[in-house]
Amino acid sequence: MNNAASAPAANPAGRRRGLTIIATAVALAAAGWGGWHWFHGRHHQVTDNAYVAGNVVQITPQVSGTVVAILADDNDAVKSGQALVKLDTADAKVALEQAEAQLAQTVREVRALYAGNATLKAQVALREADLARVQADLARAQDDVNRRAPLVGSGAVGKEEYQHTTAQLAAAKSALAAAQSAALAAREQLATGQVMTEGTTVEQHPNVQRAAARVREAALALKRAELPSPIEGHVAKRAVQVGQRVQAGAPLMTVVALDKLWVDANFKEGQLADLRIGQPAELTADVYGTKVTYHGKVAGLGAGTGAAFSLLPAQNATGNWIKIVQRVPVRIALDPQELAANPLRVGLSMEVNVDTGEQGGKTLADAPRAQAVAATGVYDAADREVDERIRRIVRSSLAQGRTVSAHQPS
């Protein structure tokens, strides 16, 4: 009986010890969490609303045509400048041949203008010499008439001789008028020819430049029948088939540069106060889990919330309004070496942990970008080839013109 009575008396003491242990553990846990938050946690902002993004380049034709070959498929790796799609070139080749023939003909015509100026100068000199000779003949005829006119009345000069001299004077006057007209026409022709060629060369003549522009247009259209990849990356989506008639600007496939990815982390508006450009960040991807950690830096904070730039922005000026916490996209630049070691894909989910302990950065960029965001030089080679083609046609036409002139009989 005494043992049974003492057992209940011992239970309150045990419960107190148990509660004390629990309270101590809770207090220690709270103190530990508080210490962790004070020294570490409050300097970090975390979000799992983050996704991998990158440059998604659409391959679109610059000219219309029929697809005759597809040289890359989904998931294929492509190099910058590698041909991806080829269009039929039959019409473009015909147009180029016509433009080249027109350019060659125009060069010969313009060269003839320059050669004609020398001929016109010789004709002007000949007409002016004829004019001087006729003027001298007129002066002699006038002198003969003046000397014979007083002698007709005295009979020293016969009337028939005087009439003959007068007829010669009239013929000389007519010859002078004709010579003056011929000399004036020759000078006008020379002036017109000089206006057509003044201050320019055969290569720089407007007619040659106009024909060269047509060649450039046709040659570029032929070059553009082959669609190159403007960047190095992987084909993500092919939407074209052989034999398909495509128009300029139609999307045919997509290329993604998987070595130049970044992460768009959508932080709540209450988390933005401590975020600064340049702060370090650690990221994990769902595809690899916690065994792979990426390191990056804050590259910039968005200029507005996602809702502000949505297709249908929210209209809060209504009667039934509920406050929704907004999110702002924050771009995180990734380490290229880590990307190469553990490739990511566009659209994958990420968890981002930004260390906000360093507050020396800026919240917004305050200077323009010094370099282009993206650039490609795969189209420059086509321009250089077209320019060389035009120069070759012009040189060939000029050389043929000189050969023909050298073989003409003098």
Task: For 80-98, give the DSSP string.
Answer: TT-EEEEE--HHHHHHHHH
Task: State the Cα–Cα distance between residues 45 and 327, nearest whole angstrom.
Answer: 13
- Tens digits of per-residue pLDDT, 346-402? 999 999 999 888 888 888 888 888 888 888 888 887 788 888 888 888 888 877 655
Phi, psi of 286 (to 5 degrees): -60, -30
Beta strands of 279-408 (E only): which ranges? 280-285, 289-301, 327-334, 349-355
Task: State the Cα–Cα distance between residues 26 and 313, nearest whole angstrom.
Answer: 46
Task: State the Cα–Cα distance between residues 298 and 232, nearest whole angstrom.
Answer: 25
For 169, the enclosing helix (H) or strand (E) is helix 159-197
Taking the mean position of all CA atoms in its chain, how far away is CA 44?
43
* The pLDDT of residue 126: 62
Q: Is 378 left (phi over 0), alpha (psi -120 to 50) or beta?
A: alpha
Number of H helices, E strands in the chain: 6, 14
* The pLDDT of residue 8: 52
* The pLDDT of residue 28: 77
Do residues 399 and 202 make contact, with C-beta atoms less than 8 angstroms apart? Answer: no
Give the predicted TM-score (pTM) of the model.
Answer: 0.68
Q: For the residues of 204-244, what is the DSSP string, one character each? A: T-HHHHHHHHHHHHHHHHHHTTEEE-SSSEEEEEE---TT-
* The pLDDT of residue 68: 95
Q: Which CATH number is associated with domain 92-221+380-407?
A: 1.10.287
Positions of the chain with pLDDT under 70: 1-10, 35-42, 113-131, 134-135, 137-138, 140-169, 172-173, 175-176, 178-180, 182-200, 318-319, 400-410
Structure tokens at 56: 């998604």
Structure tokens at 304: 């507005």
* Contacts for 248 with CB less than 8 Å, ≥ 6 apart: 60, 61, 62, 63, 64
Task: State the Cα–Cα distance between residues 131 and 128, nearest whole angstrom.
Answer: 5
Taking the mean position of all CA atoms in its chain, how far away is CA 365?
27
Taking the mean position of all CA atoms in its chain, how far away is CA 46?
40
Task: State the Cα–Cα distance between residues 335 and 296, nearest whole angstrom.
Answer: 6
* The pLDDT of residue 264: 95
- Comparing CA positions, the residue from 333, 352, 154, 172 lying closest to residue 265 is 352
Report which DSSP code applies to 375.
-
Structure tokens at 226: 């082959």
Within 10 angstroms of residue 127's Cβ, the number of other Cβ atoms is: 19
